[in-house]
Amino acid sequence: MDAILMSLMAALNEQLLINVYQRDTEDFYTGYVQVLGKTGVLLATYNDAGLADGSVLISFTAIDQVEFAGDDLDDMTFRMQVAADNQFLTLPASSPAFHFDATQELIGQLATQAKQSQELILVMLADDDAYLEGQVTAVAADRFTLAVFNKFNYTDVRYLQVDFTDVLVIEFQGLELRLETALVQGRDKLQHVRTDIHQNDGQLQPVLAAAAASGQLIVAMPKGQGEQFYVGLVLAVNATVVVLSLRDMAGQFGGYVVLRLTGLQSVTLASDYLQTIATYSGWMMAHHLDKQPVLNADREFDASADLIADLIRESAAFERVVRVRTKAPLSLMGVPFDVTATDFVMHADDTDEDEVIALADVQELAFGHIYAYLQEARLHSGR
């Protein structure tokens, strides 16, 4: 612990960008130390697009390692520079900003200010794998009360007593939490909807075609991907594939994905989470934050085409970064090359080898998102 404290103190004094790794999880935060308290540290954090994205309070007991240098931090520094150079869109800093006294308990100060502002916070507790989001309704000397909000299920209404000693992490004033705060301001008007899910029985094409015609958001759940799913609008569909214009967790344009229908587990046409993302998307559009300026959100696709093969050839010709997932399963992100009538090659950074991929084996092809743009920027920079 002494080594961690010394590292955090050095990061504060020298204003160094660091990674803070947590115990018992692969999650970590990237940012600058703002306040070093008696039991925890406050970081101003950055997201994977290189944008400032709120803050996090991390208990010392939750910290496994502090990293000052390495490939990940080099890459984040590059992303932050690209985001600044290209004027990536983000919300202005919250007003009023939270203020902290390093000599006093940070959790209590945070809870008190969150209660006053009614902004949502995200809390991770010891001995609980769940990330709880909600509003602070009361603060005592050693605990606070959280009115939990579940953006996936509006019927999940709970009040939770949170002891300061049980807190591992509290995130606050990030983009998604600020959108959720706006959503919860109309909490009394939020109506739970029954989830409308269609399992893949070989008849998804008409379901997707109807969604394309109505312009509704859907959830597409691939097979064998755990809890991973896509939210988006159907742009094109044929007997073998569907193309989605994606929305990320903040309702912003998230690029495109082509999915083989045989690789889908289910399609959801209605749910509370779809209501949440639709609300976020509408809010972002109204505030002109719905897409980053470097992205093309207006592409059209010909449903009669051999979309996967055509898009792979196009990406190779124009040196565009794509992410490919196969049946293997194999997932690679990069620029395809040596494209033939039946296969193509992609480089695997983890093995430093080239992988030959059959076009027929591609289950998902994602492209046109901000992370592809950032990787292309790195390739063109020669770094």
Dump pLDDT digits (tens) for 319-343: 999 999 998 788 999 999 999 999 9
Cα 293 to Cα 370: distance, rounded to the nearest angstrom: 10
Q: What is the mean pLDDT of the chain?
A: 93
Cα 202 to Cα 222: distance, rounded to the nearest angstrom: 14
Cα 259 to Cα 363: distance, rounded to the nearest angstrom: 6
Dump pLDDT digits (tens) for 211-267: 999 999 999 999 987 778 999 999 999 999 999 999 999 999 999 999 999 999 999
Cα 140 to Cα 55: distance, rounded to the nearest angstrom: 23
Cα 211 to Cα 366: distance, rounded to the nearest angstrom: 20
One-letter amino acid identity for 157? V
pLDDT at 95 over 80: no
Q: How much is the pLDDT for 1?
A: 62
Dump pLDDT digits (tens) for 329-383: 889 999 999 999 999 999 887 778 899 999 999 999 999 999 999 999 998 886 6
Q: In what order do the strands lie in the sheet with 264-270?
A: 196-199, 264-270, 217-222, 230-237, 241-247, 253-260, 362-367, 322-326, 331-334
pLDDT at 67 over 80: yes
Cα 311 to Cα 308: distance, rounded to the nearest angstrom: 5
pTM, whole model, 2 decimals?
A: 0.91
* Residues contacting 312, CB < 8 A, separation 6+: 322, 336, 339, 344, 359, 362, 365
Type and span of the H or E element at 160: strand 158-163
Would you give the distance in Å from CA 100 to the centre of its chain?
Answer: 28
Q: How confident is the model at residue 8 (pLDDT cuts 50, 70, 90)?
A: very high
CA distances from 59 to 140, 155, 316 (A): 19, 31, 46
Using a 10 angstrom Cβ sphere, with 0-12 exposed, 13-18 middle and 19 or more buried, the burial of residue 338 is: exposed
Q: Which long-range contacts (CB under 8 A, 24 or more apart) does 373-380 make?
A: 373/292, 373/294, 373/295, 373/321, 374/49, 374/50, 374/78, 374/79, 374/82, 375/321, 375/333, 375/334, 376/319, 376/320, 376/321, 377/78, 377/82, 378/75, 378/78, 379/319, 379/321, 379/335
Using a 10 angstrom Cβ sphere, with 0-12 exposed, 13-18 middle and 19 or more buried, the burial of residue 223 is: middle
Give the mean model confidence (pLDDT) for residues 123-143: 91
- Between helix 370-381 and helix 71-85 the angle, nearest 10°, is 100
Cα 302 to Cα 296: distance, rounded to the nearest angstrom: 17
Dump pLDDT digits (tens) for 96-113: 789 999 999 999 999 999
Q: How much is the pLDDT for 368?
A: 96
